[in-house]
């Protein structure tokens, strides 16, 4: 009888342990929800940006600033012209929306995932930040992508039937119509110019009063740019990589 009682007590204990483990295991077996992950470290730069409006033109007049740009470009593999635009875009966006707290490495990570900093389709950026090559994505015709009928009569993407993402930050024409900004001060918002595109992307990510220093705010911003969990992961990993390569700890 005593042996049966001991066996019963053991069984009850075992059931409790198994139940506890069953609640703990799912959170450990895979990646946690994006909102639970901290945002990537926010990389900082000592480059100065123009204080006029929202221009992203970076004033690299000091030797130390030029040296930082060259060194950071070498450390990260980001073309110096693109890096210059990302730094300026983040600075200008934070000036416009002080609560945003976006880091240049986040803007750069989006630029990498979207077009490898303007190298999509074999293109590159010239000294003025203008993208060469087509820099136009596939037709959004519902075949492996969302179906988005033409919204710009093919003016930006050359397709009068379906929309296509354009430029180094891969904006859909209808989104560019709303979010496009003039980043280089030439009076025109051009999605094929890295200054304009980077500023527009930073502004888009900071929109709606988002706080990108908070985990939920950062994940929500990146998800709004491309509604894919794997995309959020890609951008997070790349932004973290850039921060680590430039010696940023937070």
| Beta-ladder partners of 58 | 49
8: pLDDT confidence band, cut at 50, 70 and 90?
very low
144: pLDDT confidence band, cut at 50, 70 and 90?
confident
Q: What is the mean pLDDT of residues 109-136?
A: 92
Please give the mean pLDDT across all residues of the chain.
Answer: 80
Counting residues of the chain whose pLDDT is more than 70, the rounded percentage is: 76
Q: pLDDT tens digit string along 27-70?
A: 322 333 454 577 777 776 545 443 333 333 344 445 667 888 89
Residue 173 pLDDT? 94
Residue 174: Cβ within 10 Å count: 15
If DSSP codes are grouped into helix, strand and coil, which group holds residue 118? coil
pLDDT at 159 over 50: yes
- In sequence order, which residues have a C-beta less than 8 Å from that of residue 35 and are 6 or more positions away? 215, 216, 219, 220
| 0.85 exceeded by pTM | no
Q: How far apart are CA 63 and CA 59, in angstroms?
A: 11
User: Can you say how many angstroms the Cα of residue 8 is from the centroid of all Cα atoms in its chain?
Assistant: 56
């Amino acid at each position: 009888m005593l042996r049966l009682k001991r066996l019963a007590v053991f069984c009850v204990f075992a059931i409790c342990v198994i139940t506890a483990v069953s609640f703990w295991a799912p959170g450990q077996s895979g990646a946690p929800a994006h909102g639970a992950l901290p945002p990537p470290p926010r990389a900082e730069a000592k480059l100065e940006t123009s204080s006029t409006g929202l221009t992203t033109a970076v004033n690299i007049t000091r030797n130390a600033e030029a040296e930082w740009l060259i060194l950071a470009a070498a450390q990260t593999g980001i073309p110096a012209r693109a890096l210059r635009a990302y730094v300026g875009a983040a600075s200008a966006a934070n000036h416009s929306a002080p609560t945003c707290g976006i880091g240049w490495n986040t803007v750069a990570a989006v630029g990498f995932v979207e077009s490898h900093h303007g190298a999509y389709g074999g293109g590159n950026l010239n000294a003025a930040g203008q993208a060469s090559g087509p820099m136009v994505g596939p037709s959004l015709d519902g075949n492996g992508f969302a179906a988005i009928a033409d919204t710009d009569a093919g003016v930006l993407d050359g397709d009068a039937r379906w929309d296509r993402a354009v430029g180094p930050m891969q904006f859909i024409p209808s989104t560019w119509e709303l979010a496009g900004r003039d980043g280089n001060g030439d009076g025109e918002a051009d999605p094929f110019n890295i200054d304009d595109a980077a500023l527009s992307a930073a502004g888009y990510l900071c929109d709606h009063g988002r706080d990108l220093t908070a985990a939920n705010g950062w994940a929500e911003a990146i998800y709004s740019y491309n509604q894919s969990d794997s995309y959020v992961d890609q951008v997070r990993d790349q932004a973290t990589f850039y921060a680590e390569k430039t010696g940023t700890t937070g």
